[in-house]
Amino acid sequence: MTVGTVLGRVHAEAWGRLLGGLIRSSGRPDLAEDALAEAFAQAAEQWDADGVPGNPAGWLATVARRRLLDAHRRERRQAAPQFRAAIAARQAGARTDPAPGEDADERLPLLFMATHPALAEEVRPALALRFVLGVPTETIARLFLVPAPTMAARLTRAKRRLTQTGVALAVPDADRWPERVDDVARAIYLAFTAGYAPGGDEVVRVADAGDAVRLAVLAADLLPGQPTLEALAALVQLHHARRDARAAADGSLVLLADQDRTRWRGAEIAAGLRRLTRLQPTDGYPEELRLQALIAAFHATAATAEQTDWAGIARCYRRLEDLTGSPVVRLNRAVAVGHAQGAAAGLALLRAAGERLPGNHRVALARAELLARDGRLDEARAAYREALAAGVQGAERRHIESRLGALDPAAGVKPPRLD
């Protein structure tokens, strides 16, 4: 196994744990991230010459701690006496007792640490994704629908704010966890979403998505009675139960309507439904998650694609759009309405979403599907080409190309179905 392969595996499996430990001991995410990155860089050079150590993660942790200590020393030499005192106080007060759930998965308490209320609300989940779960900045940017440089700048500003204000970034006492539940849930859900929208040639990273499911279920079980966490666990369980049918043998995407439903995992669907049926309608983020879980349940319980309750799904999306005002929700609602009321009705709704998501290939793709369903094949071809022109790559590009190819009149293929 090459050094690059080992480092890639350690990064995927241990980055969040290593970084979280450094942040917890120092209270300084900016210095901790730099120290760990420098340790990985040193490993890439040194292991080529000396060989891979028996405990790669332990080696990286030791080197990163040394780098972090060096950074603190440099800063202390340069800083004012008051700031030196604040650093010393943070280190002296670092938490040493285990937090709830730490034995089961130490990243869970670290998620509550990373979602500090001193940070802007919109950046807390992004910081948790980067520092605790190790999600790349480019992936986080895609999840938040912003350019990668914009997200990098947000994370940098967040780290700078923590440093400048002297905020102690530490795992809060368990009785303060409920205050941060929504932010933690957002981070876990976005990590799950990253597993199902990884980019490149993969349709799904099952291990990454499954890891997020485990965190969601653990959080719900450790903090019973939290609607946000119960709804999140139900939602990801219902989605993840379909994982075996999402990709064909050649790795290509299989649309929901075409999936082999016998490969869906019934026990996991049942577990998600049990959680969902215990929840009552509410408002805010818990209701957003409950509605999304309800939509997933409509799909998961339909015996065939034709028996899907699209009218019920469209109603859920309507309520979800009222709550969020999200153009992405409008896009999904348009697809549902296209099934329930006809393609023309779906296209009418889609126009508003397109105005708020300029250049987004998913808008063009949804429009192409609706146009094909309405028999407007020339316009559908143009919309598929527009989606391809947006620069989408990998498995998703091949999927769009196959949909476009299915409209070739010489192939004698019927217009594709909406998924």
pLDDT digits (tens, 9 = 90+) for 359-381: 788 899 999 999 998 889 999 99
Span 67-85, mean pLDDT?
59
pLDDT for the residue numbered 79: 45
Residue 208 has pLDDT above 70, yes or no: yes
pLDDT digits (tens, 9 = 90+) for 277-326: 999 999 999 999 999 999 999 999 999 999 999 999 999 999 999 999 99
Instruction: Tell me: pLDDT of 183 over 70.
Output: yes
Higher pLDDT, 211 or 118: 211
Report the Cα 190 to chain-centroid distance in Å: 2
- Among 7-16, 61-70, 74-83, 259-268, the least confident range: 74-83
pLDDT value at residue 75: 56
**Confidence at residue 168, expressed as pLDDT on a 0 to 100 scale:** 56
What is the distance between the alpha carbons of residues 201 and 215, in angstroms, rounded to a whole number? 26
Provide the CATH topology of domain 309-419. Answer: 1.25.40
CB of 238 closer than 8 Å to CB of 269 = yes
As to burial, measured by CB atoms within 10 angstroms (0-12 exposed, 13-18 middle, 19+ buried), residue 296 is buried
- pLDDT at 406 > cutoff 60: yes
- When pLDDT is averaged across residues 386-409 and rounded to a whole number, the result is 83
Residue 100's pLDDT band, with cuts at 50, 70 and 90, is very low
Per-residue pLDDT band at 201 (split at 50, 70, 90): low
For residues 211-233, average pLDDT: 92
Calculate what percentage of the chain has a pLDDT beyond 70. 84
Q: What is the pLDDT of residue 259?
A: 93
Give the confidence band of 383 by pLDDT, cuts at 50, 70, 90.
very high
Render pLDDT for 118-140 as a digit per residue (tens, 0 to 9). 778 878 888 888 877 778 888 88
Element containing residue 140 per DSSP (H, E): helix 137-143
- Percentage of the chain with pLDDT > 90? 37
3-state helix, strand, coil in the chain (%, to 5): 70, 0, 25
Query: 407: closest CA among 391, 385, 392, 388?
Result: 385
Nearest to 10 by CA among 50, 54, 56: 56
What is the Cα 89 distance to its own chain's centre? 35
| Count of helices and strands (H, E) across the chain | 19, 0
The model's pTM is 0.73
User: What average pLDDT is seen over the chain?
Assistant: 82
The more confidently predicted of residues 225 and 28 is 225
Please determine, for residue 234, whether its predicted confidence score (pLDDT) is greater than 70: yes
φ, ψ of residue 247 to 5 degrees: the values are -130, 145
pLDDT tops 80 at residue 384: yes
pLDDT at 12 over 70: yes
**Domain edges within the chain:** 1-92, 102-302, 309-419
pLDDT at 159: 75
User: What's the start-to-end Cα distance of the chain, in Å?
Assistant: 41
pLDDT of 316: 97
